[in-house]
Amino acid sequence: MAIKVWDYLKEYENEKQEIHAAIEKVLSSGCLILGDSVRNFEEAFAKYCGVKYGIGVNSGTDALFLGLKALGIGAGDEVITVANTAVPTVSAIVSTGAAPVFVDIDPETYLMDMSLLKRVITKKTKCILPVHLYGQCVDMDSISKIANAYSLRIIEDCAQSHGALFKGKKAGSMSDVAAFSFYPTKVLGGYGDGGMIITDNQDSYEKLRRLRFYGMGKTYYSVEHGHNSRLDELHAEILLRKLNHLERYIRRRKEIASKYDQLLSSTGLALPKTMSGNEHVYYLYVCRHHKRDEIVTELRKRDIFVNISYPWPIHTMKAYQYLGYKPGDLPHTEKAASEIFSLPMYPSLTDREQGIVVDAICETLKKIQ
């Protein structure tokens, strides 16, 4: 029996009736674009996150891109972020005309190292883009303190952190704007692409509503240059219904993580560390070992599939060589990329399947050590 790093099929079987009802509601409504389903989901998700406004868009990438545009980020500006992230974090910055500036990561949490942040601030710096990676938040107190001191904007990348808490505050509620992805693998995932930007600022909200729809305030009249980036009614209605299950999804992820912690604690793997003040939602369960590639190969032989997030730090990729970074510039990021891997983690993973994964890892480690 193959065990995937992520799978939606059992969840779909359990929720099929609800998903089909959502689809039927939209198809029978007479409105397929920017209707009640999008509006209701925007309001519900913003409320869940503890902010006033939500703007549904077609992907997490566009959520970042349009969020940056709404903050006035553009050519000649610099945006500070990390290279241990998905490419969309950086491609969104580049698409605005701005330049990403990288900070190394903490080697235990894999989050932005706050002690290095001030060193990279220049006169061109306009924004800090912290990535709440793997399911837990960056130290937003430190981010906010530095941003206030240097008059910088903040946009949270929350693609992997739906429902995560930092000192009791929800991911996405601690910045000027925040970006979420609803890609199917996410803690709250749909059945296709989708994203949302959330904010407490009314001006940003109104601007973002225009930016996602050709810059139009009213039909057929653009008041500024905009884009076509609208969350689909079908995805919104499905996500609205799945939002009711989000806390249950998170509880199950925590149960799986706790069991991994218990059963793998004496294996020699470096297991996930939760930063003080955080409540981790375990989008991924990321382990670390210096013989990572051997472990991955052995597990694959047993039909157990793990993932590496991410095997190539962005500053080492050909597409971003023009930024001028060299191997060795971000040592903790580069070292982690050669050693980290994530175990199967999704709410419908069964105890039996998790037991098979753990047994295989233990046997593999004995074999290679």
Give the chain's mean pLDDT: 97
Whether residue 156 is found in the same domain as residue 69: yes
Whether residue 262 is found in the same domain as residue 184: no
Given a cut of 90, whether residue 219 has pLDDT beyond it is no
CATH code of the domain in which 311 resides: 3.90.1150.10
Q: Looking at the domain assignment, is residue 165 inside a domain?
A: yes
What is the spatial distance between Cα 305 and Cα 302, in angstroms, rounded to a whole number? 9
The amino acid occupying position 91 is: S
Whether residue 142 is found in the same domain as residue 120: yes
Residue 165: which of 64, 49, 86 has the closest Cα?
Answer: 49
Whether residue 129 is found in the same domain as residue 141: yes
Q: Looking at the domain assignment, is residue 1 inside a domain?
A: no
At 226-264, the pLDDT tens digits run: 999 999 999 999 999 999 999 999 999 999 999 999 999
Q: What is the pLDDT of residue 114?
A: 97
Residue ranges of the alpha helices (H) in 96-167?
Answer: 140-150
Which contiguous run of DSSP H or E holds residue 299? helix 292-301
In this prediction, residues 146-168 reach a mean pLDDT of 98
Q: Looking at the domain assignment, is residue 2 inside a domain?
A: no
Given a cut of 80, whether residue 285 has pLDDT beyond it is yes
Q: What is the pLDDT of residue 217?
A: 87
Given a cut of 80, whether residue 369 has pLDDT beyond it is no
What is the spatial distance between Cα 140 and Cα 131, in angstroms, rounded to a whole number? 11
Q: Looking at the domain assignment, is residue 4 inside a domain?
A: no
Q: Looking at the domain assignment, is residue 183 inside a domain?
A: yes
- Start-to-end Cα distance in the chain: 26
Rounded to an integer, what is the distance from CA 199 to the centroid of its chain? Answer: 17
What is the spatial distance between Cα 155 and Cα 230, in angstroms, rounded to a whole number? 20
Given a cut of 90, whether residue 218 has pLDDT beyond it is no
In this prediction, residues 201-208 reach a mean pLDDT of 98
At 69-125, the pLDDT tens digits run: 999 999 999 999 999 999 999 999 999 999 999 999 999 999 999 999 999 999 999
User: Which residue, of 185, 211, 243, is where some domain finishes?
Assistant: 243
User: Which residue, of 191, 215, 243, is where some domain finishes?
Assistant: 243
In this prediction, residues 338-359 reach a mean pLDDT of 98
Contact by Cβ (8 Å): 182, 194: yes
Whether residue 279 is found in the same domain as residue 187: no
DSSP string covering 13-34, please?
Answer: HHHHHHHHHHHHHHHTTT--BS
Q: Looking at the domain assignment, is residue 317 inside a domain?
A: yes
Whether residue 74 is found in the same domain as residue 185: yes
**DSSP classification of residue 118:** G
Domain count, the chain: 2
What is the spatial distance between Cα 288 and Cα 338, in angstroms, rounded to a whole number? 9
Whether residue 187 is found in the same domain as residue 268: no
Rounded to an integer, what is the distance from CA 171 to the centroid of its chain? Answer: 10
Q: Looking at the domain assignment, is residue 134 inside a domain?
A: yes
Given a cut of 90, whether residue 308 has pLDDT beyond it is yes
CATH code of the domain in which 91 resides: 3.40.640.10
pTM: 0.97
User: Which residue, of 243, 264, 284, is where some domain finishes?
Assistant: 243
Whether residue 185 is found in the same domain as residue 268: no
Whether residue 251 is found in the same domain as residue 238: no
In this prediction, residues 131-157 reach a mean pLDDT of 98
Q: How many Cβ atoms are within 10 Å of 270's Cβ, its own excluded?
A: 16
Give the Å distances, CA to CA, from 27 to 58, 79, 223. 19, 41, 32
Whether residue 267 is found in the same domain as residue 279: yes
Whether residue 257 is found in the same domain as residue 215: no
Domain that holds residue 31: 9-104+111-243
- Please list, in sequence order, all residues whose beta carbon lies within 8 angstroms of the beta carbon of residue 328, skipping any fewer than 6 positions away: 334
Whether residue 230 is found in the same domain as residue 325: no
Give the Å distances, CA to CA, from 88 to 53, 84, 180, 208, 277. 23, 12, 12, 19, 27
- Please list, in sequence order, all residues whose beta carbon lies within 8 angstroms of the beta carbon of residue 89, skipping any fewer than 6 positions away: 64, 81, 82, 129, 131, 157, 314
